[in-house]
Amino acid sequence: MASESGPHIPGPADFFLPPIIGSGEWAPTKIMLLVVLSVVIVLGFFYAASRKAAVVPGRLQFAGEYVYGMVRNSIARDIIGSQDYMRFVPYLFTVFTFILVNNFYGIIPLIQFPTMSHIGYTAALALITWLIYNVVGIAKHGFVGYLKLQTVPSGVSGPILIMMVPLEFLSNIIVRPFTLAIRLFATMFAGHLLLALFSLGGAWLLLHYAPTWQGVAAGLFAFLLGIMVSFLDILIMFLQAYVFTLLSAMYIAGAVADEH
């Protein structure tokens, strides 16, 4: 027999969790605690991985070195260049591991909430990247030289610059932090919403339509889709951390480059 009330339909309101302790705007929530916990996890893991470093690494040391080497070599050095990359490795490594842990919260039982599905955190990270690449660009080229680098494409001259300069300024200076933040937020938000939809929908079908075969079949199919989405979400969680770090490196590379 179907329930008249119907299932709970997940929506944006489910992403605003109530305070764990106390009340009010600044009361700590589950999301705040998860962000703090992610810092502890990252620090604890890499401290443990490097505490007893050896020439022949153990599994923990190997895992830590692999992650660091990937960020340093495949992202920082390959994108920024061998001359300038090392001074940006600490930031890129930190932002990659921080985003990765916070994304993976979405598939950990009992936690099951990717903190990057809140745009405030992705906006803060995007703002840090925006400040870094603009500051280093201005420090290297000067304010006027940096503006010219970011707004005047090389090899372009004449009246077309009247159209190109505002577009380049909008694209390189104004829009970048928004797209950087929204890409990560929207992907994590949509993935978590899909998992909640399939999980809650499947449970409701099994509870309220069973023992009819239609309810059992639809509920099991919803759970199967949820499992498939979970595996896809694992890949997306990693890719989004990688893409955010990669784009940050690309913006830094463009700021310290000699030509645009």
What are the pLDDT digits (tens) for 91-105?
999 999 999 999 999
Of residues 12 and 67, which shows the higher confidence score? 67
Average pLDDT for residues 224-240, to the nearest whole number?
89
Least confident of 53-67, 155-169, 187-201, 208-222: 208-222
The two structure tokens encoding residue 22: 């106390």
pLDDT for the residue 3: 46
Work out the average pLDDT over 20-43: 86
Whether 230 shows a pLDDT value over 80: the answer reads yes
- The answer, as to whether pTM is greater than 0.75, is yes
Please state, in angstroms and rounded to a whole number, the distance separating the CA atoms of residues 45 and 48: 5
Check whether 2 has a pLDDT greater than 50. no
Burial class of residue 53, CB neighbours in 10 A (0-12, 13-18, 19+): exposed
> Looking at the predicted structure, is the pLDDT value of residue 5 above 70?
no
Reading the block at residue 27, the tokens are: 């009361």
Residue-level pLDDT at 7: 63
Give percent above pLDDT 90 in the chain. 48
pLDDT digits (tens, 9 = 90+) for 188-217: 998 888 888 887 777 777 777 666 777 778
Residue pair 183/243 in contact by the 8 Å Cβ criterion: yes
pLDDT of residue 203: 76
Which residue is associated with the tokens 């920082």?
76
Residue 57, judged by CB atoms within 10 A of its CB (0-12, 13-18, 19+), counts as: middle
pLDDT category at 6 given cuts 50, 70, 90 is low
**CA nearest neighbour of 116 among 21, 248, 237:** 237
Q: Sketch the domain layout of the chain as residue ranges.
A: 12-256
Q: How far is CA 76 from CA 124, 242, 252, in A?
A: 21, 12, 10
Mean of pLDDT over the chain: 86
- Minimal CA–CA distance to 228: which of 255, 205, 199, 249? 199
The per-residue pLDDT for 122 is 95
CB 230 within 8 Å of CB 195:
yes
**Residue 158 has what pLDDT?**
73
